[in-house]
Structure formats: C-alpha cells, structure tokens
Structure 1
Amino acid sequence: MVDFADAVRKALGEQGKSLRGAAKELHYDVAYLSRVLNGKQAPSPELTQALNEFLGLSLEVESASRHDDEMDAWELARRVQASDVGPATLSRLERSFDELAMAYPKSEPEDLLRKVRKHSAYVTKLLDAKKTLSEHRHLLIIGGWLSLLGATVHIDLMEDDAATARLQTAATLAREAEHPEIEAWCYETEAWRVLTDGDYVRAAELSRAAQEIAPADTSAMIQATAQEGRAHARLGNASDTYSAIDRVQSMSAAMGSPNTPEHHYRYDPAKSLSYTATTLAWLGDSAAEPYAREVIKRLSPGDDVSQWPRRVASANLDLALVLLKENRLDEACDSAQKALLSGRVAPSNHWRALEVVRAVEARELPESADLREAYQILKAVEQ
C-alpha cells in the first residue's frame, strides 16, 4: 500500500501547493497537518477525505480498510462527495460573516444581532443538508465565528444568559472543527465579560488560557495578551501591565496592518493604540494621554460625535481619566461630555463612563450635574 504521508507530499509538490496553503484551504491547523505529513500523527478519517478531495487522490489510512466489493466502495465515495451546499454558498457565508465583523464597531448592537441570528439559522439549516466532510467542517467554522460574534453583541447588550449560550456553542463548534483560534477568542471574550463585572483575577486567568490555545502570530494571541494587560492594570500590577503592553506592541508591529483593519477579529496597530490608552489610564499612568489622543485623531470621522466608532468614545473616557489625575479639569470634563453625548458607549462600557462621572463628582466640579444628566440619558436610551 502507498505510504499516506509520502503520497500527499508528492501530490502537493507536483501540483505546486504548499503545506500552509493546503492547511488554509482545508481549514486545518497547519501544525496538525505537518505532524501527519511527517509521520508523527495518524490522519483522521475526515482529514484523509479532505486531502483526497483537495488533491484528487484516493488514499486510505490502513490496508485493512480496503473493501473487497468495489461497487460498495464506489457507492460510499459517491455518497460522501454528494452535496447540497457547494463552495459558492460557503464563500458567500464567509463574506457575510466578514461584513458583519467589519460592521461591528459602528453598528447598533440590536441591528447587528438580527443579522447574526439570520445567518446562524441558515448555517444550522445547511448542517442538516447533504454535504462533503470538508464542507461540514467549513460550516462548523463559519457557525463558530457567527456564534462568537453573537456572544460579543450579547455582552455589549448585557444579556448574560444568551452570551453564555453562544460562547459555549462557539467553543463546541471550534473543538469539533479543530479550530483553536476560535476557541481562544471564546476565552478572551469571556475574559472581557468578567473584567467588566469587576472580577479582574479571573479575567487575567482566562486571558492566559486564551494565549495557551491561540496559534502564534494570530489576532487572538494579541487580543488575549492585551486583555491580560488590562486585567493587571485594574489590579494595580504595574510590572505585569507594562510587560503585556510591550508584548502587544511587539506582536502588533510584526503582524502589520491588515487589509480590513475594522474587522473585529483582525488586530491592527490602531487597536493597539486603543488598548494601550485604556490600560495605561486604568493603571493611572499619564502616558495614556498621547495614545488616547492619537486614537481620537486617527478614527474621528469629523465633528459629528454620533458618527464616532465606539473606540473614539472609549478613548475620550480614557483621556478624561488621565486629565482628571493631572488636574486638567476643564479638558477632562469636555472629553467626558463628548463621550457621553456621542451615544457610542455600549451598555457593557457604561461602568467606564460612570467611573469618570463619579471621579468628577468626587471633586465637586460644577460640570458634575451636566455629566450625571448625560449619563442618565445614555442609560435611558440603551434600556
């Protein structure tokens, strides 16, 4: 019997395809595929079928799996390859998810959630349809991303039970599809949720768990590291905070700017600026100011605060905290007022806005009443 790994490596070479390219096309972890092709791990039946379809082969893992009845074998192959899904449908679903992830920073959570539900329902329908093994795995991955985005929106809306259900679904689909990046994002997203609830120790633990799962040089790795830094900032652990910031900046610089930086699950240098501003502001470090101002400068579309991305509203809250610490009170109140009146502070970030309002009230500044009123309006609009 032909050696499985040798045959696959030969076919890849003859067809001019790389190991990394094959892993990306088939939606398998490149490290797992490498172990299989180096004889360090046996291929799963699903991977065998996927490689056969991808390379036009008819390989088997063990000679014992050969069937004496050729007609039965042909019928089985026909059934496995039959599909009601097809690559065009999968490509459209992928594009739709990317569009939703890119719309996230500026969309109203309720509107985005309706679209996520619609696409998730369609994926569920296709999972019951006739499809190939590789298409099944592809659907699991798309479903995992959609569930993850849905969980994020539920967290923004403070809908904890729904967020938990969607996170659990995303993690289950990620494990079934052997997609560690989605699973890492699930841990990171839960870290953000518990951080907003004030459980900073647990947030740091979940962020480290995400880093252990996330593939190297991925957005999930950078984001999980940033999340750990923010948790340490809330805990007042200065050395751990600065270490996380340095790692984030180093990884972000190495990754460069993506083609679609607004995509929620693709890290870019502008996000690094935002997270650094927030982290340093929470630590009480005045170095947060230039980072916050740079975020506002880069991302503000104009004077109309209602058109701000949410990151600009958050940067103004960060700036207000730093300016209060430095007794630049008029500037601090102005930044806080802009953030509150923008309407771009998500419900999951209301606690950050309230933190600024209370800091102004503690100083008994004349702007206290206006800021408290703006905060109450913000809360009322989101309810």
Structure 2
Amino acid sequence: MLLTGAAIAPVLPPGAAHASTFKTYAANATVSDLESEDIESLEGGIAELASTYSARPPAELWPAAYRHRRSADTLLHRHHTLKEGVELARHAAMLSVILAWAAHDVGRRDLVKELCDDAWAHAEQAETPEIGAWVEDVRCTDALYSGNPLDALTAATRGLQVAPANGDAAVRLTAQLARTHARLGNRDDFAEAAAKAHHYRDHLPLYDGGLFGVDAARIISYDATSHGALGQHALARKAASEAISYYQKSPQQAPTRLAIARFDLAQAHAALGEPEAALSVARQALATDRIVSSMRGRARQLDRQLRRRYPTLPDAITFSHELQALT
C-alpha cells in the first residue's frame, strides 16, 4: 500500500509552526544587560584578594571584598543570560567565602555563619560543589578557634563529602579533619587522617598555597597544633619549628600562619619546661601588624598555660600585662 504525502506530513498543533517564534527564543537566550568587563572585574577581584589575603590586614580586605560582593548581587538582579547567571553565582559564592575568612579574622562569628550560608547557597545554584568544600573549611577553622570541636568535625566531614577527590580542598579538609580529631582526643582517628594528608605532601608546594590552595607548610603546622593538643610536646616542637622555617623562606608573606606556628612552638616550649624560650617565641609571633582574632586566642591560651605552670616567673607576669594591653 502506497503512503500519500498527506500521510507522512508532520502534524503540528495550530500556531506552532511559525519560524519567527523559535528565532525569538534563540535571540532571548543571549540577551543580557551585562557588559563583558562586569564579570571580568569580579574574576580579577577574586584572584587578587585570594593571592594577597594572607599578607593584608582584614580591615583592608573587607571593604574591597564587600564592594565586589555587592557588585555581584547587583549584577544578579539585572537581566543576564543563564550562563552569566551561573558565573555570577559562582563568583558571589567565592566572594562570600573570602568575606567569611575576614569575619573570622576579626572575631565576628555571627557574620562567619551568615556568609558561609550565603556562599553555600550560591555554590549550589552554580552547581560548583568545590566552593561548598571551601565554605566548610572556613566553618571548621572558626569552630575550632571558638572552642567547638564537634562543630568543626561536622564541617570537615561535610566538606569532604562535596570536595573533588584529591583536589586542594579535599587535601586541606583532610588535614583539618586530623587537627579536629586531635582536639577531640581521638588519637587513632587523628593518625589515620594525618597519614592521608601526608600522602599528598610530596605533590604540594612547600608554601604559598594561597587562600584557595594547600601547601606542605600548612599540613605541618596543623601537625604541630595536633601534637600539642594530644600532649605530644616534643613532636609539636619539631613540627612547629619545621613549619616556621618554611614560612620564613616564603616570598609571599603569611604573618598569621607564621604566628600560629610560633604559638605552637611557644606552647611546646612551655610544656617542656622552657618558659623563657616560650616567651621569646610568643613575642616574635605578636611582632606583626596583622594581629587577628586567632592569634589573640592563642596568645591568651599561652598566657594561661604560663601563669598556671610558672606563676612567679617575672617575665611571664610581664608578658601577661603586655597581652592585656594588646588585646
């Protein structure tokens, strides 16, 4: 049986066969009120903030990052393509992570939470889970310095669930997980996580990992903190000394990381019966223009340790007065 032309002709509903309709659809997909430099400005701002973060005071970083974050929000509310919307959401998320770090550095824990929540929400919209991992890296550190290791454990675990395997975020969160287990006194879990973190050491730069990176010095510095928390003070002294040597060689200044390593060394000296050495190193740690909340916390922790173990030592008493004036 022969099929007629009418039999094989496509059957379309009335009004659906206008070519102009589909031409309009295609045109609308590329309509945008944004200029090419709008997104480029955000990209450049993020790169500059991330690369210089460790050397700049939070009070200087905050307005620059906040200006870019507000710009991202403004652009998101303007007419843009779907592709541009994804890029803007990704940049907004990254900027909120940077602002969360700045909030942590000035001790604004309330802002850390809100900024992390914002970054996570925009990372989901951008379908970029790695940013979620960086969000949890901030939460983990902030929780540890706020005396909430269980919250830190939750953050590190959640971050590892979304971090790309073997990526920088996964390596850093693995080291965070080790540090958190040490704070909780989980020796076996610490050893397991620390071994995983050290597995990556040979493939990492010694220093200059940046805000969204990881380096060997950071892993070793976390080791020093962990050994101190577990009462392994000789190991803490060794790891802290090694981390300090790396940070001192780095052409990219990282005064906060260097100071934290020095406080780890100072606490190890104090625990090993070397209070004069502890005080000398602590004063070196505080001899910087970039004093942040975590450094104040570590300094107060050392002060309590010294006053408890060496209550009559004149230099320890002097240090306590100096610290009160500083904080």
Pick the TM interval, shorter chain. 0.7 to 0.9
Deviation at 1:290, TM superposition (A): 2.6
Match of 2:303 among 357, 361, 373: 357
Deviations 1:103-149 (A, max 9, x none): 21121111101111110111112112332211110110010000111
Deviation at 1:177, TM superposition (A): 0.9
Structure-2 residue corresponding to 1:328? 274
Structure-2 residue corresponding to 1:36? none
Structure-1 residue corresponding to 2:19? 70
Alpha-carbon separation, structure 1, partners of 2:215 and 2:209? 8
Residue type at the aligned position of 1:312 = L
Residues 241-320 of structure 1 mapped to structure 2, 5 A cutoff: 241-254=190-203, 256-257=204-205, 261-285=208-232, 286-300=234-248, 309-320=255-266
Residue type at the aligned position of 1:275 = Y
- The yes-or-no answer on 1:112 pairing with 2:61 is yes
Deviation at 1:237, TM superposition (A): 1.6
- The yes-or-no answer on 1:339 pairing with 2:289 is no
Structure-2 residue corresponding to 1:205? 154
Task: For CA contacts below 8 A with separation 6 or more, give which structure has more relative contact order.
Answer: 2
Deviations 1:297-346 (A, max 9, x none): 222379xxxx7611111111000111122212221221112113335441
Identity %: 28
Q: Is the contact made by 2:132 and 2:162 (CA closer than 8 Å) also made in structure 1?
A: yes
- 4+ residue runs over 6 A deviation: none
Alpha-carbon separation, structure 1, partners of 2:200 and 2:34? 38
- The yes-or-no answer on 1:373 pairing with 2:314 is no
Deviation at 1:190, TM superposition (A): 1.5
Residue type at the aligned position of 1:357 = D
Structure-1 residue corresponding to 2:119? 170
Deviations 1:244-281 (A, max 9, x none): 21111113434x339x9352111122222222222222
Q: Is the contact made by 1:222 and 1:252 (CA closer than 8 Å) also made in structure 2?
A: no
Deviations 1:184-241 (A, max 9, x none): 2222222222222212122112211111111112222122222221221112222211
More off after superposition, 269-278 vs 79-88: 79-88
Residue type at the aligned position of 2:239 = Y
Alpha-carbon separation, structure 2, partners of 1:109 and 1:374? 23
Alpha-carbon separation, structure 2, partners of 1:109 and 1:378? 17
> Cα distance 1:175–1:198, how it changes in 2: closer, same or farther (>3 A)?
same
Structure-1 residue corresponding to 2:8? none
Structure-2 residue corresponding to 1:31? none
Q: Is the contact made by 2:56 and 2:290 (CA closer than 8 Å) also made in structure 1?
A: no
Residue type at the aligned position of 1:111 = E
Alpha-carbon separation, structure 1, partners of 2:103 and 2:126? 24
Residue type at the aligned position of 2:136 = Y
Deviation at 1:178, TM superposition (A): 0.8
Q: Is the contact made by 1:229 and 1:244 (CA closer than 8 Å) also made in structure 2?
A: yes
Structure-1 residue corresponding to 2:7? none
Alpha-carbon separation, structure 2, partners of 1:344 and 1:291? 23
Match of 1:85 among 17, 31, 34: 34
> Cα distance 1:361–1:267, how it changes in 2: closer, same or farther (>3 A)?
same
Q: Is the contact made by 2:46 and 2:95 (CA closer than 8 Å) also made in structure 1?
A: yes
Question: Could you list the runs of 5+ residues in structure 1 that have no partner in the other structure?
Answer: 1-63
Q: RMSD across aligned C-alpha pairs, in angstroms?
A: 2.4
Deviation at 1:87, TM superposition (A): 4.6
Deviation at 1:243, TM superposition (A): 1.6
Q: Is the contact made by 1:340 and 1:375 (CA closer than 8 Å) also made in structure 2?
A: no
